[in-house]
Structure 1
């Protein structure tokens, strides 16, 4: 009697034994001399089984430990873009990345995905704040489901598990065959050497990535196609403005350095540029910056050039002219819910002290941060000032005015900060002010960022999918798992 080939899971990999007949399976496996069996990567689970079925090869699947869930239909009326995103994801084989701006309902889309793919689900998020937000939202939408947490002292074993990326990576070998659906919130965090084991060690046949800012400066976002799937749907803030999101406008204000600031700024930039010229370094690329950092640690001249660069940056970011503009803007928008963004904590505390505005930085204790945001939500605090800690991963209550005093270097950071003020409210028009120092590198960086913005064009409709026609069936297209 012929032995049946069996597929089993082993700490982030798959073992195939004994080998089946034919040769179709050989392209997926490698021989492991330690155990004298064939082994293949866990993330090849779906591709392997599809190839075996197509070739008529019988393989017993003992790898998966998924559970079927009973999830009620979410009591929501999805927006058209959420319906289209769900449709596009399902059409792509229930694998892929959806790019939507902050405030457009990515969490609701994920809940629709979970309902349409009712199997054990792992949700990965970058922060503990987001972990608890997801947990509360899932309990509200699926009150009868078993939802657990992994991270922040919790180590649950439940069919629906919300985890930080850190904890999921640490436990990747154990979790790899437990969940059929992976949801990666802020998925641009995934393609790092540490985090991507969550995907590589998993057999999950269904994967959804969510982000407002897909591109990474190191180009690693291109690995998301391998880790999750291709980008299947995308909408920009401009495309959803005035409908799902509040209408908004951007206002750039340029301030001049004082004569003393200008003289010192030019001196520091000249010192930095002499070193860059001697070392043949061009800062217009990521590789150039990395080379500058490397060379700055190798000589006294390099250290001096880096210090000059940072000091010049501090002058451009913290010029007194920006504080005068800030004072005028606060008077103009007196009583309106406002978030002030800066690049560094020192400027945050300077503004907080001078204008008596509550501050939130990464140094702010968690309880104090929550209390400040609650008072901001209620209107007790109409204005808060922060650095990068509120760029993502925190549910900032409704605001209509954003004032960016520094830190607009990347398209990602800019979109993240814009997203803090776009949540829709009847009659609201959001305004994002960008205050930059004229004649400095800050101005040139802002111009480059504006130059790569996508054109403001209407979204391309998905044929055959109109408002109100969302398919909420729970059928699973690939395999009845």
Structure 2
């Protein structure tokens, strides 16, 4: 069907783009701007050059091509790479780089170049609605309304074939704002509503509007067609209107049952669950309330509870009351520290928190859903800090800037229990926060500001850690020197955090919201990749952490770019910015690199561990400013920032209170998983692809997507989800068996040592103390129920020897006295919390190296769920190995039984033999391997591996030494290569297999 263009549809046929000055990259040093035709010429020149080179098929010519691209701006470089991979028939890489260039062209107002890059992408993927939507948005932004409308209609047509009714309505809404009298848009709107249950009136209204426009234009056939569709809609029955293949919750044989089922009486449902655990009841009622929220948007969903007088409101209001009462009953039981008058709720406060909780939950979940949907689909899962978790951390920071990173990490710990946004997630978060003032502020702040204000935090950079004193001093010194100068800090003392503070300050003081450019340059791509990852993680930025340094980060109008010195030094005037950060600045004193420091910018910061030689320093000071702050290795050791210690890992069985019930839950999970893994229809609906569920991580990932897309789940999926949450909750509330820790503490007390013992909760504190007090008098306990906890700590501080036993209280910034031995029996999912605990005890005393014992608890054989527990175990070991590498210490493994050693070996074998693709547990293998791509690092590792006997198993310590040597880091210095230990395990600890993995992926 074609619309008669003579009809006045509200579109100005000659309006192609608004007249505005476009900034562009300079290809001529005499000019700072390029007109539209020159933009096309640059792109055409790149394409012609590539075509000519491929014809000649010479590597030398190809090198020339890449050298030419290096001379161009990064956006042209990505465009050229996109064309190169397209010629190689590598569509995936081609699309990736073309979209990079599109984003960069668009960000720098190169309208024509962006349009061409997007057009090239569409040529490869003509059925990709998302690409057409991007093209439409770009045309719309630059005033090319006719082209924008055409692209929106292309995207809508594709979504129509995919039956994406909600997306059609969203795009129609935008298209209607461009041309409210376009009958095609009205028809598409009507078509989407026609296929949405309960929306017949809206569908008829839009078809009627389309009909009238066609009549006004004299297009009677099209008007008659619209009239016919309206008659069909009005004559169809409710059952005919519903499309059974698109039901999102339950599969039933009879359509009539689906359409009119009254469901279960709410009282019957509540009473039928009297034997279930509170965790299971909370998880199930939470899911039912989520279904009710979905039902308000999509009436085709089938709800569990019955209607009353034709409405679900009464049943679900009663369920809400049940849910709230259960939630706060569990919270009261969990919040043992509420017995403390400083933290407990009085009646009015308790009532306020309870009454405001549902509104708080609704606003936060809406914002979390938006954050989740905005992230790249390939990064969905539990890798790094997701945008949803970053949003909550920023919210807490907004409420109380003095919160430390351990308290913010409570959000990460809650994530290990349940999906962010679920009731169990909030229950764990509130429990960990403890402080009533924070919980009250969190809910009140959320309600006062509402969804728009809260969701706006997603785009704001916030430093999600509390800087050390020396970092604050360094930043202050830099600001006082007119935002110029060099910060010299010893390795591993956090010099990058000073750079983060500069970025945060610049962006958040940009009151006019003008465009800001931050540029970070370094001599190594590995350093730039690490900067990008840590910026996303530690400042809560919306970006895909799997992408490399060539992908800019955009937040609140700021464009954070990462460039190598090799690129910038060729034409520094093309890289003007508002803030320049130069890492490892001592390299830039080399004559070949000096030119890079001439980048035009009002703010310059150099970062380095050490700068040797007056000549080097004089040259660097000329362009960056003098050294304005020093923090050397000696200062770091005095400040206890760089400790050395012995680290002993003790693997024991987990202590679970109701072992039989726990074992039964584990078996039910395996049974339910077998059913769910064969439900291909639901898998396709959620993932939009033909993927299969081969393990529980795939299942959890899909349920996260379903929650934020508001897709209802079948009964079996809900049951498995609830059982998994129940099991994780039990494990989280359990701890390694305490008897071995008591034996260990007794051993050190006999040796007259000073010991700190960390346990899970207050009851365990008292239990351990009562056991040790039977034999020893110097036993001290500190927890929040004690009125004289500080006095107990003081007595321990003055004692020559003894043991201090504590739980969460010891995490919260309390001044803990020195100790020689640390014993951690509390389960710790957070790397940060573990390092903090290490820092409490790692004090050198009389030249003796302190010792830290870390207990790892595993479920017993009858309760072990292979994939779930193996990956959790491997992740915990990987976290520990990361810290060991970073701090330059060795680890020693000890097992309670030989059977536990077998479990460890079996878990490593599973990781090696399973084809994970790019994802292993919560880490992406591709991202880990990128750290080894630099030629020198890569070659050093391969050379060292070549020296090993092919049949020999490489130990943790041997692999650690190989990695340290490859990165050129001596034993006394510190190195951060997240996830490096996975490479050893995936490679089966075999030199040949690891080499093969690195050669194929690096």
TM-score (structure 1 length as normaliser): 0.42
More helix by share: 2
TM-score (structure 2 length as normaliser): 0.22
Q: Pick the structure with greater CA Rg.
A: 2
- Higher RCO (CA 8 Å, separation ≥ 6 residues): 1
